[in-house]
């Protein structure tokens, strides 16, 4: 249904407009419900200004606003579209022509939308059938005269897929002419390419009815026209349909499995429509490339399949002989050099010329009869590459097929009868295809054939020795190349075959020909059967039954079509690709004046208005809300309190979110609460679970013994993270150093220093005491940054030896010395009243103390049995006492014992 230039796709929604007057009444009758109050003193207000009566009704303009919003919403739901050209008379129906070749694939959605828009336009008047015609040939042709209703036409378009070949408009036109169809109007949704038929086709259409051409042309690079392996990797040629400058496209190299192994970005310069992308892919990787693809342009033409021929040149080794000593074989080195990069065939020369061969490598060979000479010449001129190597036989031959005339003798360098020394190869001239190959510096050329000096010799030389004599010469013959290495193919005359440069030189020589995979490459026998075919969007899939084998003789002239879809074909000559992208069609711009043309046609298509109307309706509703709030006198409050509350809620939520990962903080708080509530020891969590468990069990054992024997009754020990947890709450923190310990983080060091300064006790146990070595040498690194004064071994009369038990040493599972702060000895500069805060040892005390939390049995064995363990506990208890009481025990309590001990020592001294 249409209304002026508007077209409504859902005209039934317009029935909602009938409801508008009703809604008008409703809206008028129900202003926002005010609060109701009884007020007897209202009588006093009888004569008070009557103006406040007005808001009792919604103001007319607000009402109007709401009605507009409503009307817009209804219109929006009716999906209006701007279709000014929908007025064309469509008596006789509308014919919609759709280009559905692969050139349409990139913009397929747009093309289909354009066509669907035409269906919508056609359906609005209710008159006339709709006919849809696709221009790409199909194996089962549709009858374009079939009359469709709008819905089935839309469905047909929805289900349509682009073909993997190009449209054949002439055939389509013939098909159309064969039908009695007389359309009233024609809409041609085209890809905008010529296909050698655009002008004629549009004229033909225009002669039938008013024709409307709507173009959706690919915006960027749309087709790969060729992809060749080059010496550096691969070169991919792409074309685009526009001439917009500064456009780039991404070309992706994919493996057969679809993994992309390389991509390169090309920029179209200026108004060029073609560009070439170079893929610097290593040769080995290049062999894995199965296809190239234009990123973002999914079409059959945007994919270039690589077949065997394209990937690897076919190289024939002529007249090889089985030899008893393969290393001395003439072709051994060439074969080895080319094997990774080329398909090698070894046949007699005559047979090679019949086979699909790109290059022939011929060893030292003398006479070639005239017939063979002619065949060879013809073969080269068709694009073959003949690589000859010199040798005694060639040197003896006059008038041989060589790029340059040769002197009848060879030149020997550095032999016993020569003054000359073996020559090295000079840098490759920059005109040479070999340019860029590193010069083999250690290669000596001992013998070579010499070219007759001539004026063109310079330009024919690809490589020369340091003294300037040509080493490799080549001559372009037709499309092919005749190349002569002036040395033997084996190391007889030179070291060249030994070098890597030889490989590169051969590789480049092999691909220097004009046209590889020429007609000869295919052979003429047999057929090529499709194995994998591309669909219109450039996706490989198994072929349909309609795909036919192609005779090898006609393969190269075969264009992609319904029976021969682009894809990979297998024949006796190996795998061949039939690519859609070449030759790429050209854009067509000279539209005849009979047709009306719309570029980038989807713009005139449906989408827009409904959404805009709905959006506008929503905007009005939003404005209405604000107005209503203003009327109710709520706006300031909304700005004030509610907004504040809203912000508060928002920030609260945000804060909650930010704090959400702070679970550790909570755990840390929990630890701190527990630690503050009861005396308990702590150990540093090292991340080594076993070690942590042992340390924990050790502290538990010590706590247990303390509880048994003393009035110190610590609770279960805590594991702490020095970087996060509150250390100040623990009287003692035990650090059992793991084997692979890392230094503390800066935050941890700062906290541990703070802990020590505030009077904490930090016990470091490296657990590796050994005779003659107290603590790990690594300790200094581990405790880097810990604010430790000079350390000394605890002397034998230190208060640690008498703070609870009288002990003589500080044993754990091992028996090393205990290092304490020397300040604790030096009474003048003592800190913390001379009580050491840092205890360092390697005796694995925790291991000795450790007991099983459930059974109470010792966790680890130790030398000396229960006796030694008891001593370890005594040390532990002394340590805790020292930590808790400082040097209180230094005097008084044990005076009798001390005196006795002093006495005995004096006695002993005596």
For binding to other proteins (CB under 8 A), which residues are involved?
A: 32, 34-46, 48-49, 52-56, 631-634
CB of 636 to other proteins, least distance (A): 11
Q: CB-wise, 6 or 631, nearer to other proteins? A: 631
Q: Which of 779, 783, 784, 723 is nearest to 751 (CA)?
A: 723
Alpha helix (H) residue ranges in 165-257: 169-178, 198-208
> How far lies 886's CA from each of 47, 442, 878, in Å?
93, 80, 11
Q: Which is nearer to other proteins, 56 or 663 (CB)?
A: 56
Q: Is the dihedral of CA 189, 195, 199, 205 positive or negative?
A: negative
What is the nearest approach in angstroms of other proteins to the Cβ of residue 637?
A: 9
Q: In whole angstroms, how close is the CB of 68 to other proteins at the nearest point?
A: 24
Q: How far is the CB of 67 from other proteins (least distance, A)?
A: 22
Distances (CA, A) of 615 to 72, 79, 593, 612: 9, 13, 40, 5
Q: Which is nearer to other proteins, 49 or 808 (CB)?
A: 49
User: Toward other proteins, which CB reaches closer, 634 or 709?
Assistant: 634
Nearer to other proteins, 55 or 583 (CB): 55
Nearest approach, Cβ of residue 38 and other proteins (Å): 5
Instruction: Select from 30, 72, 161, 21 the least CA-distant residue to 565.
Output: 161
Question: Which tokens hold the place of 269?
Answer: 């310069």
Q: How far is the CB of 122 from other proteins (least distance, A)?
A: 54
Q: Which is nearer to other proteins, 38 or 324 (CB)?
A: 38
∠ CA(341), CA(463), CA(330), 5° rounding? 55
Q: Work out the angle between the directed axes of helices 150-159 and 108-124 (0-180°, nearest 10).
A: 180
DSSP-based three-state secondary structure for 484: strand
Q: Which is nearer to other proteins, 40 or 246 (CB)?
A: 40
Residue 52 or 398 with smaller CB distance to other proteins: 52
Q: Which residue, 2 or 58, has its beta carbon nearer to other proteins?
A: 58
Q: Can you tell me the distance from the alpha carbon of 268 to that of 271, in angstroms, rounded to the nearest whole number?
A: 7
Cβ-based nearer residue to other proteins, 38 or 371: 38
Q: What is the DSSP string of 763-819?
A: EEE-S--BTTB-S-TTHHHHTTT-----EEEPPTTSGGGTSSS--S---SSS---EE
- Specify the residue, 34 or 771, whose C-beta has the smaller distance to other proteins: 34
Q: Measured from the CB of residue 42, what is the shortest distance to other proteins in angstroms?
A: 5
Find the helix packing angle between 60-77 and 608-631, rounded to 10°: 150
> Is residue 399 left, alpha or beta, with left meaning phi > 0 and alpha meaning psi from -120 to 50?
left
Over 535-573, what HEC string results? CCCCCEECCCCCCCCEEHHHHHHCCCCCCCCCEEEEECC
**825, β-bridge pairs:** none
Structure tokens at 140: 């089962």
Nearest residue (CB) to other proteins, 147 versus 625? 625
User: Please, what is the minimum distance in Å from the beta carbon of residue 128 to other proteins?
Assistant: 58
Q: Give whichever of 32 and 542 is closer to other proteins, judged by the CB atom.
A: 32
Instruction: Classify 657 as helix, strand or coil.
Output: helix
Give the span between the Cα atoms of 151 and 250, in whole angstroms.
39
Instruction: State the minimum distance, in angstroms, from the CB of residue 33 to other proteins.
Output: 9
Minimum separation from the CB atom of position 57 to other proteins (A): 9
Nearer to other proteins, 296 or 640 (CB): 640
Smallest separation, CB 54 to other proteins (Å)? 7
In this structure, the number of other CB atoms found within 10 A of the CB of residue 308 comes to: 17
CB of 679 to other proteins, least distance (A): 60
* Contact between residue 630 and residue 637 where contact means Cβ atoms under 8 Å apart: no
Tokens at 102, concatenated:
């692969």
What's the min distance (Å) between Cβ of 28 and other proteins?
14
Residue closest to 680 by CA, chosen among 886, 823, 883, 536: 883
Reported as half-sphere exposure (CB side, CA atoms, 13 A), residue 907 has a value of 6
Helix segments in 561-642, DSSP class H: 608-631, 635-637
What would the two tokens of residue 142 be?
């549709």
Q: How far apart are CA 328 and CA 363, in angstroms?
A: 13
Q: Which neighbouring-strand residues pair with 793?
A: 819
Kindly report the number of other CB atoms within 10 A of residue 509's CB atom: 25
Q: Report the alpha-carbon distance of residue 495 to residue 443 in Å, rounded.
A: 5
Query: In the structure encoding, which two tokens stand for residue 590, read together?
Result: 């000279």
Are 243 and 271 in contact, with CB atoms under 8 Å apart?
Answer: yes
Would you say 42 or 199 has its CB closer to other proteins? 42
Extended beta strands in 256-311, E state? 260-268, 274-279, 289-294, 303-305
The least distance separating other proteins from the CB of residue 63, rounded to whole angstroms, comes to 16
Secondary structure letter of residue 170 according to DSSP? H
Residue 874 three-state SS: helix
The CB-of-647 to other proteins minimum distance in angstroms stands at 24
Nearer to other proteins, 35 or 808 (CB): 35
For the bound state, the minimum distance from the C-beta of residue 108 to other proteins, rounded and expressed in Å, comes to: 58
């Amino acid at each position: 249904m249409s209304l002026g230039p508007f077209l409504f796709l859902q005209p039934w929604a317009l029935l909602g407009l009938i409801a508008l007057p009703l809604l008008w009444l409703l809206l008028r009758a129900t202003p926002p419900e005010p609060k109701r109050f009884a007020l007897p003193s209202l009588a006093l207000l009888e004569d008070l200004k009557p103006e406040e009566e007005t808001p009792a009704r919604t103001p007319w303009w607000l009402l109007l606003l709401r009605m507009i919003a409503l009307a817009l919403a209804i219109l929006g739901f009716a999906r209006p579209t701007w279709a000014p050209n929908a007025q064309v008379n469509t008596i006789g129906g509308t014919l919609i022509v759709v280009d559905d070749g692969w050139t349409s694939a990139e913009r397929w959605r747009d093309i289909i939308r354009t066509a669907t828009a035409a269906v919508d336009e056609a359906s609005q008047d209710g008159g006339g059938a709709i006919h849809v015609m696709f221009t790409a040939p199909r194996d089962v042709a549709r009858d374009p005269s079939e009359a469709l209703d709008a819905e089935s036409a839309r469905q047909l378009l929805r289900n349509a897929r682009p073909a993997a070949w190009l449209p054949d408009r002439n055939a389509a036109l013939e098909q159309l002419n064969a039908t009695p169809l007389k359309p009233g109007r024609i809409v041609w949704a085209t890809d905008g390419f010529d296909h050698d038929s655009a002008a004629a086709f549009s004229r033909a259409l225009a002669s039938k009815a008013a024709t409307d051409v709507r173009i959706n042309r690919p915006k960027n690079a749309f087709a790969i026209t060729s992809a060749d392996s080059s010496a550096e990797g691969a070169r991919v040629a792409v074309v685009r349909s526009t001439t917009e400058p500064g456009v780039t496209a991404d070309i992706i190299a994919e493996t057969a499995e679809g993994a992309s192994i390389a991509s390169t970005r090309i920029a179209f310069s200026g108004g060029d429509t073609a560009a070439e992308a170079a893929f610097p892919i290593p040769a080995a990787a290049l062999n894995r490339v199965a296809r190239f693809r234009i990123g973002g342009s999914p079409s059959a033409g945007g994919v270039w399949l690589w077949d065997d021929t394209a990937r690897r040149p076919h190289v024939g080794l002529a007249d090889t002989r089985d030899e008893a000593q393969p290393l001395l074989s003439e072709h051994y080195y060439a074969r080895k050099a080319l094997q990774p990069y080329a398909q090698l065939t070894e046949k007699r020369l005559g047979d090679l010329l019949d086979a699909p061969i790109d290059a022939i490598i011929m060893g030292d060979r003398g006479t070639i009869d005239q017939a063979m000479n002619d065949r060879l010449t013809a073969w080269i001129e068709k694009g073959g590459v003949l690589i000859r190597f010199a040798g005694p036989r060639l040197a003896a031959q006059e008038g041989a097929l060589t790029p340059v005339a040769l002197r009848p003798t060879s030149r020997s360098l550095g032999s016993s009868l020569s003054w000359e020394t073996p020559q090295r190869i000079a840098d490759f001239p920059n005109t040479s295809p070999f340019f860029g190959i590193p010069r083999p510096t250690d290669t000596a050329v001992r013998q070579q054939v010499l070219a007759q000096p001539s004026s063109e010799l310079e330009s024919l030389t690809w490589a020369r020795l340091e003294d300037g004599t040509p080493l490799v010469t080549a001559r372009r013959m037709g499309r092919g190349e005749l190349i002569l290495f002036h040395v033997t193919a084996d190391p007889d005359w030179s070291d060249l075959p030994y070098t890597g440069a030889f490989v590169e030189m051969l590789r480049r020589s092999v691909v220097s020909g004009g046209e590889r995979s020429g007609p000869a490459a295919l052979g003429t026998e047999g057929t090529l059967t499709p194995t994998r075919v591309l669909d219109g969007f450039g996706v490989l899939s198994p072929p349909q039954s309609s795909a036919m084998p192609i005779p090898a003789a006609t393969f190269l002239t075969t264009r992609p079509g319904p029976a021969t879809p682009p894809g990979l074909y297998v024949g006796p000559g190996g795998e061949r690709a039939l690519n859609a992208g070449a030759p790429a069609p050209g854009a067509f711009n000279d539209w005849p004046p009979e047709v009306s043309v719309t570029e980038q046609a989807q713009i005139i298509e449906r989408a827009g208005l409904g959404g805009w109307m709905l959006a506008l309706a929503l905007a009005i509703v939003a404005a209405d809300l604000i107005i209503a709030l203003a009327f109710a006198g709520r706006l300031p409050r909304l700005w004030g309190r509610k907004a504040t509350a809203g912000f508060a809620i928002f920030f609260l939520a945000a804060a909650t979110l930010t704090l959400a990962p702070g679970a550790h903080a909570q755990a840390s708080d929990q630890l701190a609460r527990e630690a503050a509530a009861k005396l308990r020891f702590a150990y540093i969590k090292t991340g080594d679970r076993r070690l942590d468990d042992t340390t924990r069990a050790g502290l538990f054992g010590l706590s247990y013994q303390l509880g048994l024997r003393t009035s110190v009754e610590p609770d279960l020990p805590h594991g702490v993270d020095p970087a996060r947890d509150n250390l100040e709450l623990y009287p003692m923190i035990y650090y059992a150093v793991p084997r692979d310990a890392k230094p503390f983080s800066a935050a941890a060091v700062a906290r541990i220093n703070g802990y020590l300064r505030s009077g904490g006790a930090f016990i470091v146990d490296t657990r590796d005491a050994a005779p003659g070595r107290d603590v790990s040498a690594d300790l200094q690194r581990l405790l880097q940054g810990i604010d430790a004064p000079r350390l000394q071994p605890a002397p034998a009369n230190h208060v640690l030896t008498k703070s609870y038990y009288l002990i003589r040493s500080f044993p754990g599972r091992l028996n090393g010395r205990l290092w304490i702060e020397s300040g604790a000895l030096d009474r003048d500069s003592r800190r913390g009243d001379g009580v050491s805060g840092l205890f360092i040892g390697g005796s694995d005390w925790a291991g000795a103390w450790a007991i099983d939390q459930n059974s109470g049995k010792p966790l680890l064995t130790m030398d000396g049995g229960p006796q030694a363990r008891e001593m370890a506990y005594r040390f532990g208890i002394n340590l805790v006492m020292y930590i808790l009481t400082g040097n209180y025990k230094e005097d008084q309590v044990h005076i009798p014992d001390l005196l006795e001990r002093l006495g005995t020592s004096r006695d002993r001294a005596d």
